[in-house]
Amino acid sequence: MAFDIAALKQELDDAPPTAELSWEVGVAVVSDTFRLAGAAPPSPRTWAGWRRKWPRSQELVPALARALVSSSLRAETVHALEKESRDPRPTLETFLDQVSPLTGEMVWTNPFRQEEFLRHWIRACGGEIADETEGQSKKRLKQLDYRQALAEYKKAEAARKAEAARRAQLLKEAREREEQARGWRE
């Protein structure tokens, strides 16, 4: 059974608004999802380590929990994890590492970031996207990649600053030439 991204997004859009979940509730929901799949959840010590390693996990784990309880994502995740017999630690580490630039607010207010978030989770669980080949899924995830967008922004910003510095230098040189020419003519 493959994950249907469009259906998941629609379920999340249709879900009633909920209060922000706490870190503890998020950890409990995600841990219960692994238990349902027959896997031992990460220890509290492991969760605490991830919280330090990825500070935004404070928002992202509750966001994942909200998605799990508000849609069929939980049932599909359990199915994928059972099929793959996955240890939850590498699954969660991979996921948290991939989504670490995102914030909880971005996940819930930006449809592209939400899709990226869901796709990273599905990929980390070893799941497949319905009606997509592996290559198509990778291509779409690359298109959505926020890290790449940030890198492109930083590159563009550096180019803009370099161009501004170059223009400032050209203006300075032009003023100097004008001053030299003025003194020569007088």
Give per-residue pLDDT as tens, 154-185: 888 988 998 999 999 999 888 888 888 776 65
Q: Using an 8 Å Cβ cutoff, are 126 and 158 in contact?
A: no
Averaged pLDDT of the chain: 90
Is the pLDDT at 112 greater than 60? The verdict is yes
Query: Over pLDDT 90: what percentage of the chain?
Result: 68
- Extract the tokens encoding 49: 């380590």
Please check whether residues 79 and 109 belong to one and the same domain: yes
| 3 state SS of 3 | strand
Number of domains in the chain: 2
For residue 157, give its domain range.
Answer: 145-186
Average pLDDT of the residues in 112-134: 93
Q: What's the pLDDT score for residue 185?
A: 57
Please check whether residues 106 and 184 belong to one and the same domain: no
Q: What's the pLDDT score for residue 93?
A: 94
Please check whether residues 126 and 161 belong to one and the same domain: no
Please check whether residues 41 and 87 belong to one and the same domain: yes
Please check whether residues 93 and 161 belong to one and the same domain: no
pTM of the model: 0.81
Q: What is the Cα–Cα distance from 77 to 34, expressed in whole angstroms? A: 9
Phi/psi of residue 57, nearest 5 degrees? -60, -25
Q: How many CA atoms lie within 13 A of 171 on its CB side?
A: 6
Please check whether residues 20 and 45 belong to one and the same domain: yes
Average pLDDT of the residues in 143-151: 85
Residues 6+ apart with CB under 8 A from 123: 94, 98, 137, 141
Q: CA dist 114 to 36, 101, 103, 167, Å?
A: 24, 13, 10, 40
Q: Using an 8 Å Cβ cutoff, are 160 and 36 in contact?
A: no
Phi-psi region of 131 (alpha: psi -120 to 50; beta: other; left: phi over 0): left
Q: What is the Cα–Cα distance from 72 to 159, expressed in whole angstroms? A: 44
Q: What's the pLDDT score for residue 87?
A: 78
What's the pLDDT tens digit per position in 43-62? 999 999 999 999 999 999 99
Please check whether residues 15 and 61 belong to one and the same domain: yes
- Per-residue pLDDT band at 147 (split at 50, 70, 90): confident
Please check whether residues 130 and 42 belong to one and the same domain: yes
Please check whether residues 109 and 182 belong to one and the same domain: no
Q: What's the pLDDT score for residue 92?
A: 94
What's the pLDDT tens digit per position in 13-45? 998 888 789 999 999 999 999 999 999 999 999
Please check whether residues 168 and 102 belong to one and the same domain: no
Please check whether residues 129 and 44 belong to one and the same domain: yes
Average pLDDT of the residues in 111-133: 93
Please check whether residues 73 and 108 belong to one and the same domain: yes
